[in-house]
Amino acid sequence: GAEPTEDDVAALPLMHCGNGVALLSRNAIFRATSGIAVRLDEPVFSTPALSAVVDAAPEIFFLQNEPSMVASLALAPRPGERVLDMCAAPGGKTTHLAQLMQNQGTLIAVEKSSNKRPRLLSNLKRHGASFASVITADARKLLSGNGVHRAFSAADGSVHEETLGEGSFDRILLDPPCSALGQRPRVEVEHTLDILQSMARYQRMLIDVAVRLLKPGGRLVFSTCTMTIDENELNVRYLLDTHPQMRLIDSRVDGCDLGLAAREQSGLDDEQRAWCQLFDPAQLETIGFFVAAFEKKEEI
Protein backbone atom coordinates (compact mmCIF):
# COMPACT_ATOMS: atom_id res chain seq x y z
CA GLY A 1 0.00 0.00 0.00
CA ALA A 2 0.93 3.69 -0.10
CA GLU A 3 3.33 5.01 2.52
CA PRO A 4 1.47 6.72 5.43
CA THR A 5 1.40 10.51 5.27
CA GLU A 6 2.20 12.87 8.14
CA ASP A 7 -1.55 13.39 8.58
CA ASP A 8 -2.10 9.62 8.78
CA VAL A 9 0.50 9.31 11.52
CA ALA A 10 -0.87 12.34 13.40
CA ALA A 11 -4.34 10.78 13.43
CA LEU A 12 -3.15 7.61 15.20
CA PRO A 13 -3.85 7.23 18.94
CA LEU A 14 -0.56 7.76 20.75
CA MET A 15 0.78 6.64 24.12
CA HIS A 16 4.06 7.89 25.55
CA CYS A 17 6.10 4.83 26.58
CA GLY A 18 9.42 6.58 27.13
CA ASN A 19 12.42 8.04 25.32
CA GLY A 20 14.65 6.03 23.05
CA VAL A 21 17.02 5.95 20.11
CA ALA A 22 15.75 5.17 16.61
CA LEU A 23 17.65 2.29 15.06
CA LEU A 24 15.93 2.63 11.68
CA SER A 25 15.10 5.59 9.49
CA ARG A 26 11.53 6.86 9.38
CA ASN A 27 10.93 5.27 5.98
CA ALA A 28 12.43 1.97 7.10
CA ILE A 29 10.22 1.89 10.20
CA PHE A 30 7.09 2.02 8.06
CA ARG A 31 8.37 -0.51 5.54
CA ALA A 32 10.01 -3.11 7.81
CA THR A 33 7.95 -6.17 8.75
CA SER A 34 10.18 -7.31 11.63
CA GLY A 35 13.08 -6.20 13.79
CA ILE A 36 13.69 -3.47 16.39
CA ALA A 37 12.87 0.09 15.35
CA VAL A 38 13.55 1.93 18.62
CA ARG A 39 15.74 1.05 21.59
CA LEU A 40 13.93 2.34 24.67
CA ASP A 41 16.49 3.87 27.05
CA GLU A 42 14.20 5.83 29.39
CA PRO A 43 10.94 3.89 29.82
CA VAL A 44 8.02 5.47 31.64
CA PHE A 45 7.32 2.22 33.49
CA SER A 46 9.85 0.42 35.66
CA THR A 47 8.38 -3.06 35.20
CA PRO A 48 11.24 -5.52 34.60
CA ALA A 49 11.29 -7.61 31.44
CA LEU A 50 9.30 -10.79 32.11
CA SER A 51 11.80 -12.78 30.07
CA ALA A 52 14.38 -12.16 32.79
CA VAL A 53 11.96 -13.49 35.43
CA VAL A 54 11.25 -16.61 33.40
CA ASP A 55 14.93 -17.20 32.68
CA ALA A 56 15.65 -17.04 36.40
CA ALA A 57 13.16 -19.81 37.25
CA PRO A 58 12.03 -21.59 34.04
CA GLU A 59 10.62 -24.51 36.01
CA ILE A 60 8.17 -22.17 37.77
CA PHE A 61 7.11 -19.62 35.16
CA PHE A 62 5.63 -20.08 31.69
CA LEU A 63 4.72 -16.92 29.80
CA GLN A 64 1.15 -16.95 28.52
CA ASN A 65 -1.34 -14.36 27.39
CA GLU A 66 -4.33 -13.91 29.66
CA PRO A 67 -6.92 -15.20 27.13
CA SER A 68 -4.88 -18.39 26.64
CA MET A 69 -5.28 -19.12 30.33
CA VAL A 70 -9.01 -18.42 30.08
CA ALA A 71 -9.29 -21.28 27.56
CA SER A 72 -7.79 -23.76 30.05
CA LEU A 73 -9.97 -22.46 32.88
CA ALA A 74 -13.07 -22.79 30.70
CA LEU A 75 -12.18 -26.43 30.04
CA ALA A 76 -11.92 -26.91 33.85
CA PRO A 77 -10.26 -30.36 33.85
CA ARG A 78 -10.38 -32.30 37.10
CA PRO A 79 -7.90 -34.71 38.69
CA GLY A 80 -8.30 -38.25 37.42
CA GLU A 81 -9.91 -37.32 34.10
CA ARG A 82 -8.76 -38.24 30.61
CA VAL A 83 -7.89 -34.97 28.82
CA LEU A 84 -6.70 -34.21 25.28
CA ASP A 85 -4.92 -31.11 23.96
CA MET A 86 -5.33 -31.55 20.20
CA CYS A 87 -2.85 -28.91 18.97
CA ALA A 88 -0.44 -28.56 21.85
CA ALA A 89 2.97 -27.04 20.98
CA PRO A 90 4.77 -25.32 22.60
CA GLY A 91 2.83 -26.56 25.64
CA GLY A 92 1.71 -23.48 27.58
CA LYS A 93 -1.92 -24.55 27.76
CA THR A 94 -0.92 -28.19 28.30
CA THR A 95 1.15 -27.33 31.37
CA HIS A 96 -1.75 -25.22 32.68
CA LEU A 97 -4.11 -28.16 32.20
CA ALA A 98 -1.67 -30.40 34.09
CA GLN A 99 -1.65 -27.93 36.97
CA LEU A 100 -5.45 -27.84 37.07
CA MET A 101 -5.50 -31.65 37.05
CA GLN A 102 -2.98 -31.71 39.93
CA ASN A 103 -0.92 -34.13 37.80
CA GLN A 104 -3.54 -36.85 38.26
CA GLY A 105 -5.23 -38.67 35.40
CA THR A 106 -4.32 -38.93 31.72
CA LEU A 107 -3.18 -35.92 29.72
CA ILE A 108 -2.33 -36.39 26.05
CA ALA A 109 -0.82 -33.60 23.97
CA VAL A 110 -0.95 -33.92 20.18
CA GLU A 111 1.40 -32.03 17.88
CA LYS A 112 1.63 -32.50 14.13
CA SER A 113 5.27 -31.41 13.76
CA SER A 114 7.93 -33.85 14.97
CA ASN A 115 10.35 -30.91 15.09
CA LYS A 116 8.28 -29.34 17.86
CA ARG A 117 8.03 -32.50 19.95
CA PRO A 118 11.37 -32.13 21.85
CA ARG A 119 10.51 -28.64 23.07
CA LEU A 120 6.98 -29.72 24.01
CA LEU A 121 8.30 -32.69 26.00
CA SER A 122 10.92 -30.48 27.64
CA ASN A 123 8.34 -27.89 28.69
CA LEU A 124 6.05 -30.54 30.14
CA LYS A 125 8.84 -32.21 32.12
CA ARG A 126 10.27 -28.90 33.36
CA HIS A 127 6.89 -27.86 34.71
CA GLY A 128 6.25 -31.14 36.49
CA ALA A 129 3.70 -32.61 34.07
CA SER A 130 5.45 -35.96 34.10
CA PHE A 131 2.16 -37.86 33.81
CA ALA A 132 1.52 -36.37 30.34
CA SER A 133 2.27 -37.99 26.98
CA VAL A 134 2.95 -36.49 23.56
CA ILE A 135 1.68 -37.93 20.27
CA THR A 136 3.10 -36.71 16.96
CA ALA A 137 0.21 -36.90 14.51
CA ASP A 138 -2.11 -34.95 12.25
CA ALA A 139 -5.05 -34.32 14.58
CA ARG A 140 -7.46 -34.84 11.68
CA LYS A 141 -6.34 -38.49 11.60
CA LEU A 142 -6.38 -39.36 15.29
CA LEU A 143 -9.09 -41.98 14.76
CA SER A 144 -7.34 -43.60 11.77
CA GLY A 145 -5.77 -47.04 12.16
CA ASN A 146 -8.03 -47.95 15.09
CA GLY A 147 -6.77 -44.85 16.89
CA VAL A 148 -3.50 -46.49 18.01
CA HIS A 149 -0.54 -44.09 18.23
CA ARG A 150 3.04 -44.03 19.52
CA ALA A 151 3.19 -41.77 22.55
CA PHE A 152 6.23 -40.26 24.25
CA SER A 153 6.27 -39.96 28.03
CA ALA A 154 7.01 -36.47 29.36
CA ALA A 155 8.71 -38.10 32.36
CA ASP A 156 11.53 -39.86 30.53
CA GLY A 157 10.79 -39.82 26.79
CA SER A 158 9.99 -43.53 26.72
CA VAL A 159 7.59 -44.75 24.03
CA HIS A 160 4.32 -46.56 24.61
CA GLU A 161 1.02 -47.03 22.78
CA GLU A 162 -2.04 -44.88 23.36
CA THR A 163 -5.44 -45.70 21.90
CA LEU A 164 -7.63 -42.73 21.04
CA GLY A 165 -11.10 -44.11 20.47
CA GLU A 166 -14.52 -42.62 19.92
CA GLY A 167 -15.89 -41.17 23.13
CA SER A 168 -12.62 -41.75 25.01
CA PHE A 169 -11.96 -38.29 26.52
CA ASP A 170 -13.66 -36.42 29.34
CA ARG A 171 -12.38 -33.03 28.16
CA ILE A 172 -10.78 -31.78 24.96
CA LEU A 173 -9.03 -28.51 24.24
CA LEU A 174 -8.97 -27.57 20.55
CA ASP A 175 -6.82 -24.52 19.88
CA PRO A 176 -6.19 -25.14 16.17
CA PRO A 177 -3.82 -23.48 13.72
CA CYS A 178 -5.42 -20.20 12.68
CA SER A 179 -4.69 -16.97 10.82
CA ALA A 180 -3.31 -15.50 14.09
CA LEU A 181 -4.69 -12.04 13.32
CA GLY A 182 -5.05 -11.42 17.04
CA GLN A 183 -1.32 -11.57 17.73
CA ARG A 184 0.27 -8.21 18.45
CA PRO A 185 2.33 -6.15 17.92
CA ARG A 186 2.16 -6.85 14.21
CA VAL A 187 3.19 -4.53 11.41
CA GLU A 188 1.48 -6.22 8.47
CA VAL A 189 -0.39 -9.36 7.44
CA GLU A 190 0.04 -11.12 4.12
CA HIS A 191 -2.92 -13.53 4.30
CA THR A 192 -5.19 -13.64 1.27
CA LEU A 193 -8.93 -14.23 1.44
CA ASP A 194 -8.38 -17.77 0.13
CA ILE A 195 -5.97 -18.51 2.99
CA LEU A 196 -8.41 -17.17 5.58
CA GLN A 197 -11.24 -19.27 4.20
CA SER A 198 -9.05 -22.38 4.05
CA MET A 199 -8.19 -21.92 7.74
CA ALA A 200 -11.85 -22.19 8.69
CA ARG A 201 -12.31 -25.32 6.57
CA TYR A 202 -9.25 -26.93 8.19
CA GLN A 203 -10.52 -26.06 11.68
CA ARG A 204 -13.88 -27.66 10.95
CA MET A 205 -12.20 -30.95 10.09
CA LEU A 206 -10.55 -30.83 13.52
CA ILE A 207 -13.87 -29.96 15.16
CA ASP A 208 -15.47 -33.05 13.60
CA VAL A 209 -12.74 -35.30 15.05
CA ALA A 210 -12.92 -33.62 18.48
CA VAL A 211 -16.66 -34.28 18.72
CA ARG A 212 -16.12 -37.96 17.92
CA LEU A 213 -13.37 -38.29 20.55
CA LEU A 214 -15.45 -36.68 23.30
CA LYS A 215 -17.43 -38.74 25.80
CA PRO A 216 -21.14 -38.09 26.31
CA GLY A 217 -21.26 -35.54 29.13
CA GLY A 218 -17.75 -34.36 28.23
CA ARG A 219 -16.61 -30.81 27.59
CA LEU A 220 -14.93 -29.34 24.50
CA VAL A 221 -13.32 -25.89 24.43
CA PHE A 222 -12.58 -24.28 21.08
CA SER A 223 -10.23 -21.29 21.00
CA THR A 224 -8.21 -19.26 18.50
CA CYS A 225 -5.86 -16.27 18.53
CA THR A 226 -7.54 -14.59 15.58
CA MET A 227 -10.37 -12.13 14.95
CA THR A 228 -12.18 -13.39 11.83
CA ILE A 229 -15.83 -14.37 12.24
CA ASP A 230 -15.31 -17.37 9.93
CA GLU A 231 -12.72 -18.85 12.30
CA ASN A 232 -14.59 -18.00 15.49
CA GLU A 233 -18.34 -17.44 15.73
CA LEU A 234 -19.16 -19.19 12.45
CA ASN A 235 -17.21 -22.23 13.64
CA VAL A 236 -19.45 -22.24 16.72
CA ARG A 237 -22.48 -22.11 14.40
CA TYR A 238 -20.98 -24.88 12.26
CA LEU A 239 -20.45 -27.15 15.26
CA LEU A 240 -23.99 -26.67 16.56
CA ASP A 241 -25.58 -27.16 13.14
CA THR A 242 -23.47 -30.18 12.18
CA HIS A 243 -23.39 -31.99 15.52
CA PRO A 244 -26.83 -31.92 17.20
CA GLN A 245 -25.44 -34.00 20.07
CA MET A 246 -23.43 -30.94 21.15
CA ARG A 247 -24.68 -27.88 22.99
CA LEU A 248 -23.02 -24.55 23.69
CA ILE A 249 -22.40 -23.84 27.38
CA ASP A 250 -21.18 -20.81 29.30
CA SER A 251 -17.40 -20.45 29.01
CA ARG A 252 -17.32 -17.91 31.86
CA VAL A 253 -16.44 -20.27 34.72
CA ASP A 254 -14.14 -20.03 37.74
CA GLY A 255 -13.77 -16.26 37.54
CA CYS A 256 -12.67 -16.22 33.89
CA ASP A 257 -15.39 -13.83 32.71
CA LEU A 258 -12.90 -11.48 31.08
CA GLY A 259 -13.89 -11.33 27.42
CA LEU A 260 -16.63 -9.63 25.44
CA ALA A 261 -19.71 -11.29 23.96
CA ALA A 262 -19.52 -12.77 20.49
CA ARG A 263 -20.47 -10.51 17.60
CA GLU A 264 -24.02 -10.05 16.32
CA GLN A 265 -23.14 -11.14 12.77
CA SER A 266 -22.49 -14.65 14.07
CA GLY A 267 -26.00 -16.07 13.76
CA LEU A 268 -25.97 -16.89 17.49
CA ASP A 269 -28.74 -15.72 19.81
CA ASP A 270 -28.08 -13.25 22.62
CA GLU A 271 -27.57 -15.93 25.28
CA GLN A 272 -25.19 -17.92 23.08
CA ARG A 273 -23.22 -14.78 22.24
CA ALA A 274 -22.86 -14.00 25.96
CA TRP A 275 -21.55 -17.51 26.65
CA CYS A 276 -18.63 -17.04 24.23
CA GLN A 277 -15.67 -14.79 25.04
CA LEU A 278 -14.16 -12.50 22.42
CA PHE A 279 -10.98 -10.63 23.30
CA ASP A 280 -10.79 -7.59 21.03
CA PRO A 281 -7.49 -5.65 21.22
CA ALA A 282 -9.38 -2.53 20.17
CA GLN A 283 -11.37 -2.68 23.42
CA LEU A 284 -9.31 -4.81 25.81
CA GLU A 285 -5.61 -4.74 26.72
CA THR A 286 -5.03 -8.26 25.38
CA ILE A 287 -4.21 -10.06 22.19
CA GLY A 288 -7.13 -10.93 19.93
CA PHE A 289 -8.61 -14.24 21.06
CA PHE A 290 -11.82 -16.26 21.11
CA VAL A 291 -13.13 -18.94 23.49
CA ALA A 292 -16.26 -21.11 23.26
CA ALA A 293 -17.23 -24.12 25.37
CA PHE A 294 -19.46 -27.05 24.47
CA GLU A 295 -20.88 -30.11 26.17
CA LYS A 296 -21.78 -33.41 24.56
CA LYS A 297 -25.29 -34.49 25.48
CA GLU A 298 -25.67 -37.66 27.51
CA GLU A 299 -26.87 -40.64 25.50
CA ILE A 300 -30.51 -41.53 26.05
H-only helix segments in 86-232: 92-100, 117-126, 193-213
Beta pairing partners, 159: 152
Q: Are 290 and 230 in contact (CB under 8 A)?
A: no
Catalytic residue among 87, 178, 225, 276: 225
256 given a catalytic annotation: no
H-only helix segments in the chain: 6-11, 26-31, 50-56, 66-75, 92-100, 117-126, 193-213, 233-242, 270-275
CA distance 15 to 275: 33
CA distance 177 to 223: 10
DSSP string computed for 9-77: HHHS-----EEEEESS-HHHHHH-SSS-SEEEEEES--PPPHHHHHHH-TTT-----HHHHHHHHHH--
Residues catalogued as catalytic: 225
